[in-house]
């Protein structure tokens, strides 16, 4: 299934994954495929189903939650299969180092751990040996009580997926054998008013425009390939650094590099933030180029469909990926972005350019910022692919030192509003999605007006 998910992620076709998962998720009974480590298989299935839920139209989150409830103790054995998690957790995992005995011979005819045993906090034991929940909490029953790294992989993945969906849970600061956990409070101080004022905002950019739709920055950044983290081999710059105007579309990106020896073969890709949910990101095909010499350029010709969706604002980024480069160490001298408009003609300069813009936004005191869209929504006219209504954060006039704690949407109707189901979402500063969304929410308004509230976690 892991390979099938990777294939689906590459092709965008999750039908094969959903066809297989769908066979097993139409029942609330314990998902069971094999008696040896059945809980491992169960939690790995949960993780896979949650990945499919995130990337396709299917939604297995409720099924996964029910299966996790079973794993955590809601089962015929009344046993939590995660060691040290609850009062009814499995007490006798089959783990020699933690057993409290010096050798297997000492406990081969005993069911419980020794007096000097250690609690394997968080370890997932094998679990039931059949779909009816048959389970024995014995140190000698390695089918029911063996623990292993691959057992926990599915458990942690499923738990993370469920947290992303339901945002429920708490920090346990008193785990046996673990030091105290301290959570520092976050204090937010802000100001408010509902009057509207004109505010002049000044922004500074180091972009160098050379005219005719050409924008260059000079990072002069040395890259050592072996020092790039395995999880992120892309170098990024904010689109705002280039100073591209709103009416322009990027047609080409050129990265000039140099090295102290022959550069040789580069393999990698380019990527960019976009305006399109749910990922808000797109990436070029895998690319390869050979530079014979100590300097040269690597070019991405941006197709028009990609150019149409690039997010130049709100922290949108351009990224240059290095999967491999023969020379090992090189310097990114310049990054030049070409646009198709050819309308921008300014004098080249190495000094920062200062742009002054005037916007209208609400003033604030006491931490309340309000806009009044007065927008009528007809649910049946919302597109299937996008049932979210958006506003620019800039419209609210929130200052840089403030943090949002609550969002309240006041609505009205000509008749009883009734039940609303939905979620809130926001752009973020965090790659790769630059987006986060609340858990699914539901609220009932009895009457023709009321408010829907999102309490934003820190």
| pLDDT, position 107 | 77
Distances (CA, A) of 298 to 223, 263, 295, 337, 403: 15, 11, 10, 12, 40
Burial, 16: exposed, middle or buried (Cβ in 10 Å; 0-12, 13-18, 19+)? Answer: middle
Which residue is associated with the tokens 């009457």?
447
DSSP string, 300-332: EE--HHHHTTB--STT-EEEEEEEEETTSEEEE
Distance CA 1, CA 432 (A): 24
Per-residue pLDDT 10s for the chain (458 aa) are: 888 998 988 888 999 999 999 999 988 899 999 999 999 999 999 999 999 999 999 999 999 999 999 999 999 999 999 999 888 999 999 998 888 887 777 777 888 888 888 889 999 999 999 999 999 999 888 899 999 999 999 999 999 999 888 877 666 656 655 554 454 444 444 443 334 333 333 333 345 544 468 899 999 999 999 998 888 889 999 998 898 877 789 999 999 999 999 999 999 999 999 888 878 899 999 999 999 999 999 999 999 889 989 988 878 899 999 999 999 999 999 999 998 753 333 333 333 333 333 334 444 556 888 899 888 898 888 877 778 898 888 888 888 778 899 999 999 999 999 999 999 999 888 877 788 899 889 898 998 999 999 999 98
Strand pairing category for 329-339 and 250-258: antiparallel
Which residue is associated with the tokens 């920062």?
352
Distances (CA, A) of 79 to 47, 75, 85, 117: 21, 7, 11, 20
Distance CA 458, CA 455 (A): 10
CB 101 within 8 A of CB 107: yes
- Portions of the chain given CATH number 2.60.120: 208-339
- CATH code: domain 208-339 is 2.60.120
- Portions of the chain given CATH number 1.50.10.10: 1-166
Q: Is the dihedral of CA 117, 121, 123, 128 positive or negative?
A: positive
Q: Is the dihedral of CA 367, 372, 378, 382 positive or negative?
A: negative
Q: What element of type H or E holds 256?
A: strand 250-258
Give the number of other Cβ atoms within 10 Å of residue 9's Cβ. 13
Q: Which of 369, 421, 413 is nearest to 391 (CA)?
A: 369
> Which residues, listed in sequence order, are joined to residue 353 by a DSSP beta bridge?
205
Q: What are phi and psi of 241, to 5 degrees?
A: -65, -25
Q: What is the pTM assigned to this prediction?
A: 0.42
Q: Which of 97, 80, 182, 178 is nearest to 133 (CA)?
A: 80
> Which residues, listed in sequence order, are joined to residue 334 by a DSSP beta bridge?
256
- For residue 4 the two structure tokens come to 């099938």
- CATH code: domain 1-166 is 1.50.10.10
SS3 state at 40: helix
| pLDDT, position 68 | 95
């Amino acid at each position: 299934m892991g390979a099938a998910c990777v294939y689906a992620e590459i092709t965008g076709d999750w039908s094969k994954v959903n066809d297989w998962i769908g066979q097993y998720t139409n029942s609330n009974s314990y998902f069971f495929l094999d008696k040896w480590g059945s809980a491992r298989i169960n939690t790995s299935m949960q993780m896979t189903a949650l990945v499919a839920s995130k990337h396709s139209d299917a939604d297995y989150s409720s099924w996964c939650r029910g299966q996790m409830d079973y794993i955590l103790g809601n089962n015929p054995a009344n046993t939590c299969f995660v060691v040290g998690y609850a009062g009814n957790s499995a007490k006798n995992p089959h783990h020699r180092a933690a057993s409290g005995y010096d050798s297997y011979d000492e406990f081969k005819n005993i069911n419980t751990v020794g007096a000097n045993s250690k609690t394997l906090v968080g370890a997932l034991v094998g679990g039931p040996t059949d779909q009816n929940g048959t389970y024995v909490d014995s140190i000698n029953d390695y089918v029911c009580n063996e623990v292993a790294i691959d057992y926990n992989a599915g458990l942690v993945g499923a738990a993370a997926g469920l947290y992303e969906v339901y945002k429920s849970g708490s920090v346990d600061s008193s785990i046996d054998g673990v030091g105290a956990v301290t959570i520092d409070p976050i204090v937010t101080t802000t100001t408010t008013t509902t009057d509207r004022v004109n505010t002049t905002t000044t922004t500074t950019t180091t972009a160098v425009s050379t005219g005719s739709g050409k924008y260059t920055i000079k990072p002069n950044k040395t890259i050592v390939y072996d020092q790039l983290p395995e999880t992120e081999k892309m170098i990024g710059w904010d689109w705002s650094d280039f100073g591209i105007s709103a009416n322009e579309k990027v047609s080409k990106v050129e990265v000039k590099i140099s090295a102290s020896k022959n550069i040789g073969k580069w393999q990698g890709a380019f990527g960019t933030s976009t305006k399109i949910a749910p990922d808000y990101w797109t990436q070029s095909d895998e690319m390869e180029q050979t530079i014979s010499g100590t300097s040269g350029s690597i070019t991405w010709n941006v197709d028009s469909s990609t150019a149409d969706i690039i997010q130049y604002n709100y922290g949108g980024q351009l990224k240059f990926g290095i999967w491999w480069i023969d020379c090992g160490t090189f310097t990114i001298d310049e990054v030049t972005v070409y646009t198709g408009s050819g309308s921008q003609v300014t004098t080249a300069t190495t000094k920062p350019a200062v742009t002054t813009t005037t916007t209208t936004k609400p003033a604030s005191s006491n931490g309340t910022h309000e806009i009044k869209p007065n927008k009528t929504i007809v649910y049946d006219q919302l597109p299937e692919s996008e049932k979210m209504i958006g506003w620019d954060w800039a419209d609210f006039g929130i200052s840089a030192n403030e943090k949002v704690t609550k969002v309240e949407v006041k609505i009205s109707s000509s008749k009883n509003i009734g039940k609303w189901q939905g979620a809130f979402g926001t752009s973020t500063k965090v790659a790769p999605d630059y987006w986060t969304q609340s858990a699914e929410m539901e609220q009932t308004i009895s009457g023709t007006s009321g408010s829907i509230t999102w309490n934003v976690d820190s």
